[in-house]
Structure 1
Amino acid sequence: MKRKRGAGKRKSNKPSTGGAGEVFVEPGYYSDRNEENDELESRTEIETRAVHTKLYGQHVIKKIMKMEAAAPFNAPVDPIALGIPDYFDIIDTPMDFGTICSKLESGLKYRNSEEVFKDVGLIWDNCCKYNKKGSLILELMKRVKTNFKRQWTAAGLHREQSTLTTGKNGLCSCWCCY
């Protein structure tokens, strides 16, 4: 039994070469980078960032919460107990480290470290917005903020500068940071 010419030859997955070392590549030959793969890679990258944020972000927040100066920022402000009934008239979006920690533990609230950093920024902004210049709470906030930034950066949890307004110290733009 004779074989037909070319039958039984293995087809190579490599591009064919012509004379003089030229390589002929069929359109779409290197198409393993398609939309489906890009989407999968994107999802994997997002999931990896979320896990990194959860583990390291939670570690940093818990470490900050142990600071004596951080005590006023560890739980939601209770305007009645503190005798500041106008708090919610002035502060639209309250935030505290305990709430951030709970969001991190749930694993559903933050997609990346920038989102966590933004919530931490609310703590600083709210403190500056409600309290008077020179008050003890502002001094405590500045100490906690400086320590937080150091820990956050050391953990590799950077935020995108272009998405946040920053003051002279790179932490925020509120009046009390100048």
Structure 2
Amino acid sequence: MKVLVTYASKNGSTEEIAETIADELLAYGLDVLCRSAHDTDASDADAVILGSAVYAGRWLRPARHFLKDQSDRLRRMPFWIFSSGPFGEQATRPTEDDLRWQEPPRVLTRAESLGVRGHVVFGGRLPTEPHGFIENAMVRNTPEDTRDARDWSAIRMWAASIAHELGAQERIGRPVVSA
């Protein structure tokens, strides 16, 4: 079983989530390739996990294009999607409005029409080196202890559930080390 984990990331946080998912799938003995959605396709994959950072309620362009351009292939294979981005209060106690903001409805509609097996929103991380007024204001106005809302245990558990769904029975790789 060859699994493609592909992602669109602006500041590296979503890329790190994708790499953690790929590492967990590898620990279950699956053949995994982890690549940016900007420069890959699903031609050699038996399953796909696609993720994107969410900005202003939208997935990044490379992930949106991958979902559209690879729709014929995705329709014929198991695939999952994830979004990342919320931090602070949004990540710990999201409201109904927060969820609409974090899970772009057009992406979900397209993915569901193709038979996506699951989707999840993971907490994100604010840029460590913010650029511009908006990023600087977000970092300045967010308490330091809530700037990184990624839950590595939840990410690994989601990846493990996918490994089981793909037929992997037990974890054979190295033990999990907390990030």
The two structures share one fold, judged by TM-score above 0.5 = no
Larger helix proportion, structure 1 or 2?
1
Structure with higher RCO (Cα < 8 A, 6+ apart)? 2
Larger strand proportion, structure 1 or 2?
2
TM-score, scaled to structure 1: 0.29
Larger Rg: 1
TM-score, scaled to structure 2: 0.29
